[in-house]
Amino acid sequence: MKEHFLLFDYCNMLLCSIKPSLMFCLNDLHGTRLARVLTTVDLVSLGVGSCVGTGMYVVAGLVAKEMAGPGVILSFIIAAVASILSGVCYAEFGVRVPKTTGSAYTYSYVTVGEFVAFFIGWNLILEYLIGTAAGASALSSMFDSLANHTISQESYPDLLALLIAMLVTVIVGLGVKNSVSFNNVLNVVNLVVWVFMVLAGLFFLSGANWEDGRFLPYGWSGVMQGAATCFYAFIGFDIIATTGEEAKSPDTSIPYAITVSLVTCLTAYVSVSVILTLLVPFNLIDGDAPLMEMFADHGFLAGKYIVAVGAVAGLTVSLLGSLFPMPRVIYAMAGDGLLFRFLSFVSPHTETPVVACAVSGSLAALLALLVSLRDLIEMMSIGTLLAYTLVSVCVLLLRYQPDKDGFTSFLTEEEEEERKRKEEMMAANNGTEVDDSNSLLKRILGSHYYTIRMRLGLPNLGDRPTPATGRTVTSCVLLFFILTFFLWTLVIYGFDQVSGGARWAILPFIMTVIVLMVTLVIIILRQPENPKKLPYMAPCVPFVPTAAMLVNIYLMLKLSSITWVRFVVWCALGVLIYFSYGMWNSSLELSAREEAAHASSYQRYDTEVDDSFNVDEDLPPQEDEEDGQYQGWAAEERGYQKHYQQHYDEQRPSNSHNYRSKGRTNKGFEELVNEEYSPE
């Protein structure tokens, strides 16, 4: 019997000692860590720069001429509302998961599982790939306009766009601090020219351009279609969240930078759209360089060349803003094994993912060489809208899950202590009230707030979520997501396309879907929220996330059919890569294989133990980890959250240069034992 105890203790000690080493090999994927050098000002500059470039110098004129006319002003406002709704959800995620890279991909990996995360990451790559190519193509068109279109007459494909994309790739690959400093300088130039355009344009305004039905020449349908395209111009806050691992103080910098970026960009777009459509009739706007040519049309050539300087600066910054996050998403996906692992290599000299930079920049340059700017812009928004929609879904899920569900707890001990300290400080400042996440609603509704809570059967402030309530919320959110697609399909392709009796026949179906969606929101409201407090939390949950889902999905369905065809082709390519490579080489799969090897090896040590002896007889009962805890959408991927926590615990920046492992081990259990416990 004593020998059995010794054998059992030795096996436990051996497994506990070896498993961290195995997890170190499993999780040290990226080599050198990314440098944490970005300040709040740097994040704001990146966000504003990536927006106020192609969006201002190209998209405003394109949408005004072909989709909305002067109604482009309303298109930008609607797109901004959609961006703000998604932005506050992004900001909360950036605070929950501050020390990560990959943005929506990483957030989704933590909350909804591997396949959905791959799907989101794949679409983010599409977004940035097309954005980079569009920026290079826009710069090429601007130079062509300055040269009186002699470049486009002499060369095709667009070799100049290819060279521009490759040059910016080199700049990004040199290091984050170098590229951000360059970005900040160009941003100042761009903003100065923006102020000049607004002030100089005041001398050439003509109110006749908005009269006699010219403000909405394509109707509200054109405004909404323009809003779907204008959403392309508001992707700047995504780069802020993507660079969270490189920010010095992500828990405060990310929310602030997102808010400032969105407000600044909306102001810039609306002011420029007003000036453009009042200076030039919408049907006469130049499609390639609208802001430059609007002054040339009035004989103000000096203004044209001043705008050209701003266009060079703004489009270069926008190009940097699109190329900068793309290799970081690829880096994160490759580090998790969903893309080829060599893409996760980080240069010890520049501390950037140089291989991912080179590959992504080359692909963007190829697109800029072969595809026209207009086709690139039309395909830009759909992947972004889908990714932002799923981020809203994730933040809604997180708010209603119990504490120890694995969704919100994967920080190191030091970070967990810091989080608890901040929670205590916020609780002391807020008084005795347990939950203040709906404080905005309280201010709006006043004394009616508690009356409405009581009549709707909302939970008490002291209630806590349970696995059952978490599953209820997940089911409701999934059903709401599906019904939203169904609702807007009925409205866009049914109600808006028919007239007379057919329209009234569709109306009952639309009303039924709306009633079901309202019911689902009420059911979610009646579930208790997680009381954890963060430095920043999205307001008015579940209303803000559900509103973001509604607006984003509507804008997705307003995009052209050819855009959906291209999107489906891209997604099919991604699914092929996932099922042929990613699924078999992912961190989750390799971790599961290692755990299976541990289990089978452990059984061999225990084969001679007397069956009548039960080691657990004198031990206190332990709760099954799976019973009583909500497992989320990826319940089949057991042990997944523990793996992801160790993935970040092992890879701390302070020891970033000491890592040596470049991949996963495929050695057997005995070989690892011999290596770990060799005589040396």
8-state DSSP, 529: P
Report which listed range, 27-41, 82-96, 399-413, is most confident. 82-96
The radius of gyration computed from the CA coordinates of the chain, to the nearest angstrom, equals 27
- Mean pLDDT (the chain, rounded): 75
Query: 319 or 111: whose pLDDT is higher?
Result: 319
Structure tokens at 434: 């347990």
Average pLDDT over residues 587-603: 77
pTM for this model (two decimals) = 0.70
Distance (Å, whole) CA 103 – CA 80? 20
**Average of pLDDT values for 106-127?**
80
- 252 alpha-carbon distance from chain centroid: 18
Take residue 172 and report the two structure tokens written for it.
Answer: 């990004």
Of residues 239 and 119, more confidence is placed in 119
Region for 446 from its dihedrals, namely left if φ exceeds 0, alpha if ψ lies in -120 to 50, beta otherwise:
left
Q: Flag whether pLDDT at 180 surpasses 90.
A: no
Residue 156 has pLDDT above 80, yes or no: no
Per-residue b/e over 166-176, b at no fewer than 16 CB within 10 Å?
bebbebbbbbb
Q: Cα 415 to chain center, whole Å? A: 23
The rounded percent of the chain whose pLDDT value lies above 70 is: 71
246 burial (CB, 10 Å; 0-12 / 13-18 / 19+) is buried
Exposure pattern of 438-460 as b/e (b: 16+ CB <10 Å)?
beeeeeeeeeeeeeebeeeebbe
Q: Quote the CA–CA distance of 628 and 499 in Å, as a whole number.
A: 53
- For residue 629, the 8-state DSSP code is S
Q: How far apart are CA 648 and CA 36, in angstroms?
A: 15
**How far is residue 32 CA from its own chain's centroid?**
24
pLDDT single digits (tens) 567-581 = 889 999 999 999 999
Determine the pLDDT at residue 643. Answer: 46
φ/ψ of 242, rounded to 5, equals -65, -30
If one compares 68 and 103, the residue with the highest pLDDT of the two is 68
Residue 676 has pLDDT above 90, yes or no: no
What integer pLDDT is reported at residue 13 of this predicted model? 37
Of 649, 536, 655, 52, the C-alpha closest to 249 is: 536
Q: In 3D, which of 385, 336, 326, 382 has the Cα closest to residue 358? A: 326
Of 10-14, 92-96, 109-113, 512-516, the least confident: 10-14
Looking at the chain, the number of H-run helices and the number of E-run strands are 30, 0
- Residue carrying the six token digits 């701003």: 310
- Residue pair 567/129 in contact by the 8 Å Cβ criterion: no
Q: What is the pLDDT of residues 441-450, one digit of tens each?
A: 677 777 777 7
For the domain spanning 1-400+403-432+529-592, the CATH number is 1.20.1740.10
pLDDT of residue 596: 83
Q: Rounded to an integer, what distance in angstroms lies between the CA atom of residue 589 and that of residue 228? A: 38
pLDDT tens profile 47-88: 887 778 878 888 899 899 989 999 999 999 999 888 888 888
Rounded to an integer, what distance in angstroms lies between the CA atom of residue 114 and that of residue 454? 40
Residues whose CB falls within 8 Å of the CB of residue 194, separated by 6 or more in sequence, listed in order: 52, 56, 268, 271, 272, 310
Kindly tell me if the per-residue pLDDT of 478 is higher than 90.
yes
pLDDT, tens digit, 9 for 90 and up, residues 521-554 = 999 989 998 887 777 788 888 999 999 999 999 9
Query: In the chain, what are the domain boundaries?
Result: 1-400+403-432+529-592
Range picked from 11-25, 236-250, 504-518 for highest mean pLDDT = 504-518
3-state secondary structure of 549: helix
Q: What is the largest CA-CA distance in the chain?
A: 100
